[in-house]
Amino acid sequence: MNYALAGLALLAAITLANALLTAAVVKRWRAAVTASAHAAHASAAPAGPPELAVQEGDPVPEFTLHTPQGEVTAQDLSGHTALLCFLRPDCGPTRESLPAVRRWAETHAPAGARVVAIVNGAPEAAGPLLEAVAPCTELTTVEAPDGPLARTFGVRHHPSFVLLDADGTVTETGIGNGSLTALDLATV
């Protein structure tokens, strides 16, 4: 009988230890999940519709574009209307926006307008998109999604557009396919 009581006591002790360890693990897991949720909420995009860091009427911020033909700065674009297109290789709306960008270039290039294509993505994935914009512009660059140009203009969504007048003033911005009125007006 003593062996049975000793066995039951040991079993009870092991069960109690298991319950205490399980409670401790669950408590730590809940704390980790709560901390993770708070961190995700703190880093989430601001509420409301997405917008760029530049707005209509703002002067174009200083930037340097590293193209295959050399460096181009914001000042190099002065004297010309310019359309800055922030594109992403794996983005359906980016591909859907290309015919409108091409029409805009065909309509405005004879007057000296310039299209600048900033491809936000991995260089090895950018090739087909660069080929697609080649008829529109030689002013292309590839940078990381959070690269210097994307940060300067506050780009977090693709495609994003910034239209500049010849004086270097932002005349229109748009996020998403069909968001820029100037692209819709350029019909051929």
pLDDT in tens, 74-131: 999 889 899 999 999 998 999 999 999 999 999 999 999 999 999 998 888 898 999 9
d(CA 48, CA 158): 17
What's the pTM value of the predicted model, to 2 decimals? 0.71
d(CA 17, CA 184): 70
First to last CA, the chain: 99
Architecture of domain 64-185: 3-Layer(aba) Sandwich (3.40)
Q: pLDDT > 90: what percent of the chain?
A: 40
Q: Is pLDDT at 187 greater than 50 in this prediction?
A: no
**Residue 13 in tokens:** 């002790």
| Mean pLDDT within 3-26 | 82
**Residue 169 in tokens:** 């003033």
For position 47, what pLDDT does the model report? 56
Task: Assign 37 a pLDDT band (cuts: 50, 70, 90).
Answer: low
Q: Cα–Cα–Cα angle for 91, 88, 55, nearest 5°?
A: 110
DSSP state, residue 148: H
129 and 89 in contact (C-beta within 8 Å)? yes
